[in-house]
Structure 1
Amino acid sequence: MTIKLLTSENVTAELENQMANLFKQLNPDLQLNPLAKIMEKQDQLSLVYCQEGDQIIGMAAMCSYHVLSGSKGMVEDVVVDENSRGKGLGRKLMEELLQIAEQKGLTEVLLFSGNHRQSAIRLYTKLGFVKSESGLYRLKFAQ
Structure 2
Amino acid sequence: MTIKHLTPEDLTVDMENQMVKLFKQLNPDLKLNPLVKIMEKEDQLSLVYCQEGDQIIGMASMVTYSVLSGSKGLVEDVVVDTAYRGQGLGRQLMEKLLQIAQEKGLTEVLLFTGNHRQSAIRLYTKLGFEKSQSGMYRIRFNQS
Instruction: Please name the residue that 1:55 is paired with.
Output: 55
Moved more, 35-44 or 72-81: 35-44
Q: Secondary structure of the equivalent of 1:10?
A: coil
* Identity, % of aligned positions: 78
Distance in structure 2 (CA, Å) of the matches to 1:48 and 1:42 = 16
What per-residue deviation string (whole Å, max 9, x for no partner) do you get for residues 56-114 of structure 1? 00000000100000110000000000000000000000000000000000000000000
Give ranges in structure 1 of 5+ residues lacking alignment.
none
TM-score, with structure 2 as normaliser: 0.98
In structure 2, do the counterparts of structure 1 residues 30 and 94 end up closer, same or farther at CA, with 3 Å as the change threshold?
same
1:42 lines up with 2:42 in the alignment? yes
Distance in structure 2 (CA, Å) of the matches to 1:41 and 1:58 = 23
Distance in structure 2 (CA, Å) of the matches to 1:113 and 1:142 = 23
What is the deviation of 1:27?
A: 0.5
Moved more, 25-34 or 105-114: 25-34
What per-residue deviation string (whole Å, max 9, x for no partner) do you get for residues 16-75 of structure 1? 110000000000101221011111113111000000010000000000100000110000
Q: CA contact under 8 A between 1:7 and 1:42: conserved in structure 2?
A: no
1:123 lines up with 2:130 in the alignment? no
Distance in structure 1 (CA, Å) of the matches to 2:116 and 2:65 = 28
Q: Which structure shows the higher helix fraction?
A: 1
Instruction: Please name the residue that 1:103 is paired with.
Output: 103
> What amino acid is aligned across from residue 21 of structure 1 in structure 2?
K
Instruction: Flag as ranges the 4+ runs of structure 1 deviating above 3 A.
Output: none
1:132 lines up with 2:144 in the alignment? no
Instruction: Please name the residue that 1:94 is paired with.
Output: 94
Distance in structure 1 (CA, Å) of the matches to 2:92 and 2:104 = 18
TM-score, with structure 1 as normaliser: 0.98
Distance in structure 2 (CA, Å) of the matches to 1:91 and 1:41 = 27
